[in-house]
Amino acid sequence: MPEGPEIRRVADRLARQLVGQSLESVWFAFPELAGEGASLEGHRVLSVESWGKALLIHFDNDRVLYSHNQLYGVWKLHRAANPPSTRRSLRVRLQAGGRVASLYSASDVSLWSAGQLEQHPFLSRLGPDLMSHGVTANDIEERLTSSRFRRRALGGLLLDQGFYAGIGNYLRSEMLFFAGLGPQLRPMDLESIQRSRLARVMRDVIHQAYREAGVTNQPGWIAHEKRQGLSRGHWRFAVFAREGLPCHACGEQIVRRMVTSRRLYYCPSCQAV
């Protein structure tokens, strides 16, 4: 499933095409939304934002279109006269300026008024988005030491969307590695300097993944792998999906284990236990 950085990149692509445009036609496949398309036609798109793995399109009539791609959903951008060739099921179609944003295969789509969005059953459970909500390293440190989260093992906490939204499995492994922390440690177990480093790493890693389309490895380590002719699958990550391969930093073999029923990769030498 795409994680926060990937959804943010989709939001940015949609924004470049839609923001400021008046909608010429709107179509929904869902029976409960079938009559709603006309209420959006002629209205402008104000913004497109991501919140974790959800996407929100804001219109100038105080409406908000919520969508969650889940496992199979995908947005495709195309000219109105040239729809994509695909076997996927079309769920949403937004046309503006002769171009179309089409959502395929997603099943979680709804239309809300902006004032009621906080009542959304999924969004109301989410913590802040590390990229969309202006989260600082100090904010993260404070949240780590709060009574709600300080006793939680980091391996589970980082995947809890109520902690921070948008962190998925590959980001969890990469963040813990670059912070030098084992998954069983809790925020309350850490020294102040360790919590500060984790907070900085969380912001840095997710923003790098956004800028570099999912790449979280260090430039020097990437260059070394590329010189050996290795593919993106080998050099994209520092530890994730690298079980049995040598750690870039120390040469120790990367280990895989299951944490909260999800695979986690770490270096037993570099990450404190």
Q: Is 2 a catalytic residue?
A: yes
Encoded amino acid at 36, one letter: E
From the list 3, 6, 49, 174, the catalytic residue is 3
From the list 8, 53, 195, 203, the catalytic residue is 53
SS in 3 state form for the chain? CCCHHHHHHHHHHHHHHHECCECCEEEECCHHHCCCHHHHCCCEEEEEEEECCEEEEEECCCEEEEEECCCCCEEEEEECCCCCCCCCCEEEEEEECCEEEEEECCCEEEEEEHHHHHHCCCHHHCCCECCCCCCCHHHHHHHHCCCCCCCCCHHHHCCCCCCCECCCHHHHHHHHHHHCECCCCCHHHCCHHHHHHHHHHHHHHHHHHHHCCCCCCCHHHHHHHHHCCCCHHHHCCCCCCCCCCECCCCCCECEEEEECCEEEEECCCCCEC
From the list 16, 151, 232, 262, the catalytic residue is 262
Alpha carbon 32 to chain centroid, angstroms = 28
From the list 2, 5, 128, 187, the catalytic residue is 2
Q: Is 262 a catalytic residue?
A: yes
The residues annotated as belonging to the active site are: 2-3, 53, 262
